[in-house]
Amino acid sequence: MSYIKINQDKCKSCYLCIDVCPHKLIKKSNNTGSTGELTVEFSDNENKCIGCAQCAIVCPEIAIEEVTRE
């Protein structure tokens, strides 16, 4: 199962990862980050993540720390 690991402490809520995810698996969470806005979280209940790592490539904060592909 492919998955990504997001470090909520580093997320600055730019939401570039939300736009780039081909299956829209990254969503806003309920936690407030360092910029006072909602951070992002990864939810993949249907195992749709393909581990393309595009989210990690565009993340300017290296908040997406790991991408594992099955």
Partner 1 sequence: MQVYSIPKSIKENSKFTFCKGCDHGVAIKIIAEIIDELNLRENTIAISSSGCSVLLYNFLDVDCLEAPHGRACAVATGVKRAHRAKKDEKFVFTYQGDGDFASIGLSESMHSALRGENITAICINNTNYGMTGGQMGPTSTMGQLTTTSPLGRNKEYHGFPIKTAEQIALCEGTQFSARVALYDVKNILNAKKIIKKAFECQLNNKGFSFVEILSSCPTNWKLSPQDSHKKIAEELTKIYPLDIFKDTTND
Residues that bind partner 1 (CB under 8 A): 9-10, 12-16, 19-20, 35, 51, 53-54, 56-62, 64-70
Residue 20 to residues 13, 25, 37: CA-CA distances in angstroms?
14, 10, 19
Minimum separation from the CB atom of position 41 to partner 1 (A): 17
| Nearer residue to partner 1 within complex by CB, 7 or 41 | 7
Q: Could you report how far apart the first and last alpha carbons of the chain are, in Å?
A: 5
Tell me the longest C-alpha to C-alpha distance in the chain.
35
Task: Map residue 55 onto helix, strand or coil.
Answer: helix
Of residues 29 and 51, the one with the C-beta less far from partner 1:
51
The nearest distance, CB 31 to partner 1, in angstroms, is 15
